[in-house]
């Protein structure tokens, strides 16, 4: 009986010590939530966490924190630090992050000549990484560009499907600027052909003379004397 009483007394002493150990599963769940939040703006990003050594006996922390390890990048094979300020301890947890190849897809049908805006496209994970060689991925590559042909919603955008829009159209009245050493003269003429920024566009002047100049982004035709 005496031994039994001593055994119960020992369990009572050991109970608080065991309860004070940090729950490693809880730390892993905290790390998982942290990484999910960090990758929330990266569609198609996936990650795989390592595991903490269950043999570790750390004092429980009321407010454990998670951060990227010093010098770690949130991509590829990297690391998280899980730490406590009181009591003081720090663990390092490996994490592998991978990004699915992304592409631009049309959100609705478009016609030839339509100029694309932010609402006309969206980024989506490519079903086949081989498509990344042909499909455009950066919205800056297509916003403000015009379609070379019509296309249905859900079509992946490729470089040959878009081109810069015309800044000058045939029979449009345009400003013509002739500049030289120390002088600049402006006049008005009529474009004889369509032109994009940087194209050489023929312009008929009021006196019937046909001039050729370079179209600027603003539609002004520049001639150098």
Max Cα distance, the chain (Å): 124
Confidence check: pLDDT of 160 > 70? yes
Query: Given a cut of 90, is residue 17 above it in pLDDT?
Result: no
pLDDT at 225: 65
How do residues 132-153 score in pLDDT, each as one tens digit?
889 999 999 999 999 999 999 9
CATH class held by domain 166-224? mainly beta
Candidate CATH numbers 3.90.1210.10, 3.40.50.1820, 3.30.70.270, 1.10.10.10; the one for domain 102-163: 3.90.1210.10
| Mean pLDDT of the 114-126 span | 93
How crowded is residue 215: how many other Cβ atoms within 10 Å of its Cβ? 24
pLDDT-based confidence at 192, cuts 50/70/90?
A: very high
Whether the Cβ atoms of residue 208 and residue 225 lie closer than 8 Å to each other: no
Q: How many CB atoms lie within 10 A of CB 130?
A: 10
Going by pLDDT thresholds of 50, 70 and 90, the confidence category of residue 93 is very high
Residue ranges per domain, the chain?
18-99, 102-163, 166-224
Please answer whether residues 167 and 218 qualify as being in contact, where contact means their C-beta atoms are separated by less than 8 angstroms.
yes
Q: Are 60 and 22 contacting, i.e. CB atoms less than 8 angstroms apart?
A: yes
What pTM, to 2 d.p., does this model score? 0.52
């Amino acid at each position: 009986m005496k031994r039994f009483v001593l055994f119960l007394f020992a369990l009572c002493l050991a109970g608080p010590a065991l309860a004070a150990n940090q729950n490693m599963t809880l730390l892993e769940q905290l790390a998982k939530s942290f990484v999910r939040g960090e990758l929330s703006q990266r569609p198609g990003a996936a990650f795989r966490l390592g595991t903490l050594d269950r043999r570790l006996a750390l004092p429980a922390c009321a407010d454990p924190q998670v951060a990227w390890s010093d010098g770690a990048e949130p991509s590829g094979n990297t690391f998280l630090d899980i730490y406590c300020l009181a009591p003081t301890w720090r663990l390092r947890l490996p994490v592998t992050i991978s990004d699915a190849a992304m592409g631009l897809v049309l959100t609705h049908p478009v016609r030839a000549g339509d100029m694309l805006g932010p609402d006309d496209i969206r980024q989506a994970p490519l079903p086949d990484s081989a498509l990344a060689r042909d499909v455009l991925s950066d919205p800056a590559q297509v916003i403000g560009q015009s379609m070379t042909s019509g296309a249905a919603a859900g079509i992946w955008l490729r470089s040959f499907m878009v081109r810069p829009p015309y800044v000058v159209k045939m029979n449009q009245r345009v400003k013509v600027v002739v500049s030289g050493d120390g002088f600049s003269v402006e006049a008005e003429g009529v474009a004889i052909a369509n032109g994009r920024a940087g194209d050489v566009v023929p312009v008929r002047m009021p006196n019937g003379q046909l001039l050729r100049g370079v179209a600027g982004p603003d539609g002004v035709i520049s001639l150098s004397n």
